[in-house]
Structure formats: C-alpha cells, structure tokens
Amino acid sequence: MILAACSREQAPTKGAATERAIGGTPLASKPFFRIDAVPQPSCASGGTCEARLRLTALGDYHVNPQYPFKFEGDPTPGIELDGTGTLAQDDAKTATMTIRFRPAKAGKARLTGTFKLSVCTDDNCEIETPKIAFDVTAS
C-alpha cells in the first residue's frame, strides 16, 4: 500500500470560509445564526455613540427581511440607550444592527440585552431572542 501526502491546501468549505471571515467567538449562536460585535467607531462621553452587531444566517438560512428586529437593552448605569436599534440588511445572509447610546462619562461599560431576530430557509423560519452582552468605550 502506498500513502502520499500533498502540501497543497484544499479549498475550504462554504461554512469554514464564513467562520474565518467572521472570526472570533460570537456573542450568541445556534447552528442557523451567529451574532458578532463589530468594532465600535470612536465615541465621546456626553455625545451620541453607536455600537454595531452583525447577524449572520448560517447554512441554508437567510435573514428574514419582514421580521421587526430589535435590541431591548437592560438598564446600564451611566448609559442611556436611544431606542431599540436599527437593522440594515447587508445581503441575504447578513445584517447589521446599529444601537445608539449616550454615555455619561468616559470609560468602558458593558451593554446587555435581548436581540430579537429571525432567520429563514425556504421552508421554515426560526425566531430567536438571545441574551447578549458586549463592551463599549467612551473617551
């Protein structure tokens, strides 16, 4: 029996490529979706700031454009949330939730809340309400 090895890399599967492109540990995930924090733009205390979360539908799922997505934030000392977020669909599989907030002082704070979302296949939709937490920083 002859065994041979090839040093050429195999092309990654679609799922593996997606995982590498997203990177890191998600804030929440199931086999059909994941939520990741997007790097926060600069933010000054006392002003209106933005945090962004990226929703990615996995496998045969896509983002449900008819669902009323929202982020219901928990009370955070020194942070005032401005509404329940705005979702912009990037493409069929990804969308970005923008959450506006006003920090009272400089420093790091932890935002927690529930991300209400829906992803679908051609046959069914999944509605999820994962609890997530992520850090924001004001200067």
Res 46: pLDDT: 87
Residue position matching structure tokens 């890191």: 24
- Record the tokens describing residue 81, joined without a space: 């949330």
Nearest CA to 127 out of 75, 57, 37 is that of 57
Domain layout of the chain by residue ranges = 25-138
Burial of 132 (0-12, 13-18, 19+ CB in 10 A): middle
Supply the pTM of this predicted model.
0.79
CATH of 25-138, one of 3.40.50.300, 1.10.8.60, 3.40.50.720, 2.60.40.10: 2.60.40.10
Question: Which amino acid, one-letter code, is at 83?
Answer: G
Say if residue 3's pLDDT is above 80. no
Q: Give Dmax over CA atoms of the chain in angstroms.
A: 72
Q: What tens digit of pLDDT does each residue of 86-98 get?
A: 999 999 999 999 9
